[in-house]
Protein backbone atom coordinates (compact mmCIF):
# COMPACT_ATOMS: atom_id res chain seq x y z
CA UNK A 1 0.00 0.00 0.00
CA UNK A 2 2.57 2.54 1.12
CA UNK A 3 4.98 1.29 -1.51
CA UNK A 4 2.34 1.98 -4.17
CA UNK A 5 2.10 5.53 -2.93
CA UNK A 6 5.86 5.98 -3.23
CA UNK A 7 5.90 4.53 -6.78
CA UNK A 8 2.99 6.64 -7.86
CA UNK A 9 4.21 9.81 -6.16
CA UNK A 10 7.65 9.62 -7.74
CA UNK A 11 6.39 8.43 -11.10
CA UNK A 12 7.21 11.63 -12.93
CA UNK A 13 10.71 11.82 -11.55
CA UNK A 14 11.38 8.16 -12.33
CA UNK A 15 10.10 8.51 -15.87
CA UNK A 16 12.15 11.62 -16.52
CA UNK A 17 15.30 9.87 -15.28
CA UNK A 18 14.49 6.77 -17.29
CA UNK A 19 13.77 8.74 -20.45
CA UNK A 20 17.19 10.37 -20.31
CA UNK A 21 18.90 6.99 -19.95
CA UNK A 22 16.76 5.16 -22.51
CA UNK A 23 17.78 7.77 -25.03
CA UNK A 24 21.29 6.34 -24.86
CA UNK A 25 20.70 2.95 -26.40
CA UNK A 26 22.56 -0.20 -25.49
CA UNK A 27 25.76 0.58 -27.33
CA UNK A 28 26.52 3.73 -25.34
CA UNK A 29 30.07 4.29 -24.15
CA UNK A 30 30.65 4.24 -20.41
CA UNK A 31 31.49 7.94 -20.35
CA UNK A 32 28.21 8.71 -22.13
CA UNK A 33 26.27 6.70 -19.56
CA UNK A 34 27.98 8.53 -16.69
CA UNK A 35 27.21 11.88 -18.30
CA UNK A 36 23.60 10.88 -18.80
CA UNK A 37 23.20 9.74 -15.18
CA UNK A 38 24.66 13.02 -13.95
CA UNK A 39 22.46 15.08 -16.28
CA UNK A 40 19.38 13.10 -15.37
CA UNK A 41 19.99 13.73 -11.66
CA UNK A 42 20.52 17.43 -12.33
CA UNK A 43 17.27 17.61 -14.26
CA UNK A 44 15.52 15.94 -11.30
CA UNK A 45 16.89 18.82 -9.17
CA UNK A 46 19.28 16.79 -7.06
CA UNK A 47 21.76 19.66 -7.29
CA UNK A 48 25.32 19.77 -8.59
CA UNK A 49 26.99 18.29 -5.50
CA UNK A 50 24.73 15.28 -5.30
CA UNK A 51 24.84 14.62 -9.04
CA UNK A 52 28.62 14.70 -9.17
CA UNK A 53 28.95 12.61 -6.04
CA UNK A 54 26.75 9.91 -7.55
CA UNK A 55 28.79 10.04 -10.73
CA UNK A 56 32.08 9.63 -8.83
CA UNK A 57 30.70 6.71 -6.83
CA UNK A 58 29.53 4.74 -9.86
CA UNK A 59 32.55 5.60 -11.98
CA UNK A 60 34.83 3.78 -9.51
CA UNK A 61 32.96 0.53 -9.96
CA UNK A 62 32.78 -2.07 -12.70
CA UNK A 63 30.08 -1.38 -15.33
CA UNK A 64 27.99 -4.35 -14.24
CA UNK A 65 27.93 -2.94 -10.69
CA UNK A 66 26.45 0.35 -11.81
CA UNK A 67 22.87 -0.24 -10.61
CA UNK A 68 24.07 -1.46 -7.21
CA UNK A 69 26.56 1.41 -6.90
CA UNK A 70 23.83 3.90 -7.81
CA UNK A 71 21.50 2.52 -5.14
CA UNK A 72 24.22 2.50 -2.48
CA UNK A 73 25.33 6.07 -3.00
CA UNK A 74 21.75 7.35 -3.29
CA UNK A 75 20.84 5.61 -0.02
CA UNK A 76 23.81 7.14 1.72
CA UNK A 77 22.87 10.62 0.46
CA UNK A 78 19.20 10.24 1.37
CA UNK A 79 19.46 8.70 4.81
CA UNK A 80 19.44 7.66 7.47
CA UNK A 81 15.78 7.46 8.36
CA UNK A 82 15.05 8.97 11.74
CA UNK A 83 11.70 8.57 13.44
CA UNK A 84 9.74 11.53 14.78
CA UNK A 85 10.47 12.18 18.43
CA UNK A 86 7.73 11.65 21.04
CA UNK A 87 7.85 12.87 24.65
CA UNK A 88 8.59 10.16 27.20
CA UNK A 89 5.42 11.26 28.99
CA UNK A 90 2.84 13.99 28.69
CA UNK A 91 2.01 15.69 25.44
CA UNK A 92 4.41 15.77 22.52
CA UNK A 93 4.78 19.07 20.66
CA UNK A 94 5.74 19.39 17.01
CA UNK A 95 6.02 22.82 15.38
CA UNK A 96 5.69 23.21 11.59
CA UNK A 97 7.52 26.08 9.91
CA UNK A 98 8.19 27.15 6.33
CA UNK A 99 7.35 29.63 3.60
CA UNK A 100 3.82 30.35 2.44
CA UNK A 101 2.32 27.58 0.36
CA UNK A 102 4.94 24.98 1.33
CA UNK A 103 2.25 22.70 2.72
CA UNK A 104 2.39 23.31 6.50
CA UNK A 105 -1.35 23.32 7.14
CA UNK A 106 -1.97 20.33 4.89
CA UNK A 107 0.87 18.48 6.60
CA UNK A 108 -0.56 19.31 10.05
CA UNK A 109 -3.86 17.76 8.96
CA UNK A 110 -2.17 14.69 7.52
CA UNK A 111 0.01 14.28 10.62
CA UNK A 112 -3.05 14.54 12.85
CA UNK A 113 -4.58 11.75 10.80
CA UNK A 114 -1.49 9.54 11.05
CA UNK A 115 -1.40 10.07 14.82
CA UNK A 116 -5.12 9.32 15.11
CA UNK A 117 -4.61 6.08 13.25
CA UNK A 118 -2.09 5.16 15.95
CA UNK A 119 -4.73 5.84 18.58
CA UNK A 120 -3.33 9.20 19.70
CA UNK A 121 -5.42 12.25 20.50
CA UNK A 122 -4.35 15.45 18.79
CA UNK A 123 -4.69 19.19 19.35
CA UNK A 124 -3.83 21.51 16.46
CA UNK A 125 -2.76 25.04 17.35
CA UNK A 126 -3.82 27.42 14.58
CA UNK A 127 -0.96 29.84 15.15
CA UNK A 128 -1.38 31.49 11.75
CA UNK A 129 -3.32 34.47 13.09
CA UNK A 130 -2.55 36.81 10.21
CA UNK A 131 -5.29 35.58 7.91
CA UNK A 132 -8.79 34.66 9.06
CA UNK A 133 -8.99 32.17 6.19
CA UNK A 134 -5.98 30.34 7.57
CA UNK A 135 -7.86 29.34 10.71
CA UNK A 136 -10.82 28.12 8.65
CA UNK A 137 -8.47 25.94 6.63
CA UNK A 138 -7.00 24.43 9.80
CA UNK A 139 -10.51 23.81 11.11
CA UNK A 140 -11.39 21.80 7.99
CA UNK A 141 -8.33 19.59 8.38
CA UNK A 142 -8.87 19.20 12.13
CA UNK A 143 -12.42 18.04 11.49
CA UNK A 144 -11.33 15.53 8.85
CA UNK A 145 -8.66 14.14 11.14
CA UNK A 146 -10.84 14.19 14.25
CA UNK A 147 -8.47 16.54 16.04
CA UNK A 148 -9.26 19.40 18.39
CA UNK A 149 -8.33 22.90 17.28
CA UNK A 150 -7.16 25.82 19.42
CA UNK A 151 -7.38 29.08 17.57
CA UNK A 152 -6.44 32.60 18.49
CA UNK A 153 -8.28 35.81 17.81
CA UNK A 154 -7.28 37.56 14.60
CA UNK A 155 -3.81 39.09 15.09
CA UNK A 156 -3.36 37.40 18.47
CA UNK A 157 0.28 36.73 19.24
CA UNK A 158 0.93 33.31 17.64
CA UNK A 159 3.22 32.37 20.53
CA UNK A 160 0.32 32.70 22.97
CA UNK A 161 -1.88 30.49 20.77
CA UNK A 162 0.78 27.79 20.88
CA UNK A 163 1.01 28.22 24.66
CA UNK A 164 -2.77 27.86 25.08
CA UNK A 165 -2.90 24.80 22.87
CA UNK A 166 -0.34 23.06 25.06
CA UNK A 167 -2.27 23.98 28.21
CA UNK A 168 -5.39 22.56 26.61
CA UNK A 169 -3.58 19.36 25.66
CA UNK A 170 -2.33 18.96 29.21
CA UNK A 171 -5.78 19.51 30.65
CA UNK A 172 -7.27 16.96 28.25
CA UNK A 173 -4.35 14.54 28.49
CA UNK A 174 -3.98 14.72 24.73
CA UNK A 175 -0.97 13.00 23.19
CA UNK A 176 0.12 15.40 20.50
CA UNK A 177 0.09 19.15 19.84
CA UNK A 178 0.74 20.26 16.27
CA UNK A 179 1.60 23.94 15.97
CA UNK A 180 0.74 25.23 12.49
CA UNK A 181 2.52 28.55 11.96
CA UNK A 182 2.03 31.31 9.41
CA UNK A 183 4.08 31.13 6.27
CA UNK A 184 6.96 33.54 6.34
CA UNK A 185 9.56 34.60 3.91
CA UNK A 186 12.92 33.14 4.68
CA UNK A 187 14.53 36.55 4.22
CA UNK A 188 12.36 38.66 6.52
CA UNK A 189 14.11 38.88 9.84
CA UNK A 190 11.15 40.17 11.92
CA UNK A 191 9.00 37.19 10.98
CA UNK A 192 11.83 34.79 11.55
CA UNK A 193 12.35 36.25 15.05
CA UNK A 194 8.68 35.66 15.76
CA UNK A 195 9.24 32.01 14.96
CA UNK A 196 11.89 31.81 17.65
CA UNK A 197 9.36 33.28 20.03
CA UNK A 198 6.77 30.62 19.20
CA UNK A 199 9.30 27.88 19.76
CA UNK A 200 10.37 29.34 23.12
CA UNK A 201 6.73 29.69 24.20
CA UNK A 202 6.19 25.96 23.74
CA UNK A 203 9.18 25.31 26.00
CA UNK A 204 7.73 27.56 28.70
CA UNK A 205 4.38 25.81 28.51
CA UNK A 206 5.99 22.40 28.70
CA UNK A 207 9.61 21.66 29.66
CA UNK A 208 11.24 19.60 26.92
CA UNK A 209 9.01 21.03 24.17
CA UNK A 210 9.14 21.31 21.27
CA UNK A 211 10.06 17.72 20.48
CA UNK A 212 10.31 18.48 16.78
CA UNK A 213 10.62 21.68 14.78
CA UNK A 214 9.91 20.54 11.26
CA UNK A 215 10.78 22.63 8.27
CA UNK A 216 8.19 22.06 5.57
CA UNK A 217 9.61 22.64 2.08
CA UNK A 218 7.92 22.45 -1.28
CA UNK A 219 9.78 19.74 -3.18
CA UNK A 220 8.19 20.79 -6.46
CA UNK A 221 10.17 24.02 -6.40
CA UNK A 222 13.36 22.04 -6.84
CA UNK A 223 16.49 24.06 -6.20
CA UNK A 224 14.45 26.89 -4.71
CA UNK A 225 13.59 24.53 -1.87
CA UNK A 226 17.23 24.67 -0.83
CA UNK A 227 17.26 28.48 -0.66
CA UNK A 228 14.07 28.44 1.41
CA UNK A 229 15.47 25.88 3.76
CA UNK A 230 18.74 27.70 4.34
CA UNK A 231 16.91 30.88 5.27
CA UNK A 232 15.21 29.11 8.14
CA UNK A 233 18.31 27.54 9.59
CA UNK A 234 19.17 30.24 12.14
CA UNK A 235 15.57 31.22 12.95
CA UNK A 236 14.59 28.19 14.98
CA UNK A 237 16.34 25.01 16.14
CA UNK A 238 15.16 22.79 13.29
CA UNK A 239 15.12 19.06 13.98
CA UNK A 240 13.97 17.68 10.66
CA UNK A 241 12.44 18.30 7.29
CA UNK A 242 9.16 17.43 5.62
CA UNK A 243 9.44 17.55 1.82
CA UNK A 244 6.00 18.04 0.29
CA UNK A 245 4.66 17.75 -3.27
CA UNK A 246 7.18 15.18 -4.42
CA UNK A 247 4.35 13.98 -6.64
CA UNK A 248 3.86 17.36 -8.24
CA UNK A 249 6.75 17.54 -10.65
CA UNK A 250 9.68 15.57 -11.99
CA UNK A 251 11.82 17.18 -9.32
CA UNK A 252 11.91 14.44 -6.74
CA UNK A 253 15.66 14.86 -6.44
CA UNK A 254 15.16 18.12 -4.56
CA UNK A 255 14.88 16.01 -1.41
CA UNK A 256 18.53 15.04 -1.81
CA UNK A 257 19.56 18.63 -2.47
CA UNK A 258 17.80 19.84 0.68
CA UNK A 259 19.27 17.03 2.74
CA UNK A 260 22.74 17.77 1.41
CA UNK A 261 22.45 21.50 2.06
CA UNK A 262 21.03 21.28 5.58
CA UNK A 263 22.41 18.06 7.00
CA UNK A 264 19.05 17.59 8.71
CA UNK A 265 17.17 14.31 8.52
CA UNK A 266 14.19 14.16 6.20
CA UNK A 267 11.43 12.77 8.41
CA UNK A 268 8.28 13.06 6.31
CA UNK A 269 7.34 13.17 2.66
CA UNK A 270 4.16 14.50 1.06
CA UNK A 271 3.09 12.47 -1.96
CA UNK A 272 -0.26 14.04 -2.78
CA UNK A 273 -3.06 16.28 -1.59
CA UNK A 274 -5.20 13.69 0.19
CA UNK A 275 -5.15 13.25 3.94
CA UNK A 276 -3.45 9.87 3.65
CA UNK A 277 -0.71 11.15 1.31
CA UNK A 278 1.91 11.71 4.00
CA UNK A 279 4.46 9.02 4.72
CA UNK A 280 7.38 8.60 7.10
CA UNK A 281 10.52 9.01 5.11
CA UNK A 282 12.15 5.77 4.03
CA UNK A 283 15.43 6.11 2.11
CA UNK A 284 14.97 2.62 0.69
CA UNK A 285 11.52 3.30 -0.69
CA UNK A 286 12.52 6.72 -1.96
CA UNK A 287 15.56 5.44 -3.85
CA UNK A 288 13.76 2.40 -5.23
CA UNK A 289 10.84 4.52 -6.40
CA UNK A 290 13.22 6.85 -8.26
CA UNK A 291 15.60 4.28 -9.69
CA UNK A 292 15.47 3.95 -13.46
CA UNK A 293 15.18 0.59 -15.13
CA UNK A 294 18.85 -0.13 -15.82
CA UNK A 295 18.14 -3.14 -17.96
CA UNK A 296 16.68 -0.86 -20.60
CA UNK A 297 20.09 0.63 -21.21
CA UNK A 298 21.86 -2.67 -20.91
CA UNK A 299 23.67 -1.71 -17.71
CA UNK A 300 24.04 -4.38 -15.06
CA UNK A 301 22.20 -6.83 -17.25
Ligand X SMILES: Nc1nc2c(ncn2[C@@H]2O[C@H](COP(=O)(O)OP(=O)(O)O)[C@@H](O)[C@H]2O)c(=O)[nH]1
Q: Is residue 105 within the footprint of Mg ion (CB under 5 A)?
A: yes
Nearer CB in complex with ligand X: 38/277: 277
Answer whether 128's CB lies under 8 Å from 154's CB: no
Report the half-sphere exposure of 148 (CA within 13 A, side-chain side): 19
Which span sits near Mg ion by CB under 5 A: 103-111, 113-121, 210-218, 245-253?
103-111
Nearer CB in complex with ligand X: 100/189: 100
Q: Is residue 98 within the footprint of ligand X (CB under 6 A)?
A: yes
Pairing type for strands 266-270 and 278-280 reads antiparallel
- DSSP-derived secondary structure for 98-148: -STTSSHHHHHHHHHHHHHHTT--EEEEEE--S-HHHHHHHHHHHHHHT-E
Q: Is residue 239 within the footprint of ligand X (CB under 6 A)?
A: no
x/- letters, 36..75, toward ligand X (CB under 6 A): ----------------------------------------
- Residue 80: count of CB within 10 angstroms of its CB: 10
Q: Could you say which of Mg ion, ligand X, none residue 259 binds, taking C-beta under 5 to 8 angstroms by partner kind?
A: none
Torsions phi, psi for 271 (to 5 deg): -120, 20
Residue at shortest CB range from ligand X: 270
Instruction: Quote the CA–CA distance of 186 and 189 in Å, as a whole number.
Output: 8
Answer whether 124's CB lies under 8 Å from 240's CB: no
Q: Is residue 135 within the footprint of Mg ion (CB under 5 A)?
A: no
Among 18, 47, 91, 103, binds ligand X (CB under 6 A): 103
Q: Which of 239, 248, 242, 220 is nearest to 98 (CA)?
A: 242
Residues in region 267-296 near ligand X by CB under 6 A: 270-273, 277
How many residues make contact with ligand X (CB under 6 A)?
19
Closest separation in Å from C-beta 238 to Mg ion? 18
Q: Could you say which of Mg ion, ligand X, none residue 244 binds, taking C-beta under 5 to 8 angstroms by partner kind?
A: ligand X
Residues that bind Mg ion (CB under 5 A): 104-105
Residues that bind ligand X (CB under 6 A): 98, 100-106, 183, 216, 244-245, 247-248, 270-273, 277
Amino acid sequence: MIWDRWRKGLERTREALGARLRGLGRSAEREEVLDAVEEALLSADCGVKVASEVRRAIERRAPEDMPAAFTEVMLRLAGPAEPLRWAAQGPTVWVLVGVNGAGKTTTAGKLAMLAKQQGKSVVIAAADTYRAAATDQVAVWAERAGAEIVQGAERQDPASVAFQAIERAQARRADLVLVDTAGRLHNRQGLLDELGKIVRATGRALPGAPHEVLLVVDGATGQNAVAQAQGFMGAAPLTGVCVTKLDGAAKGGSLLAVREALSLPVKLVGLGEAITDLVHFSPEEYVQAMAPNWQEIGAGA
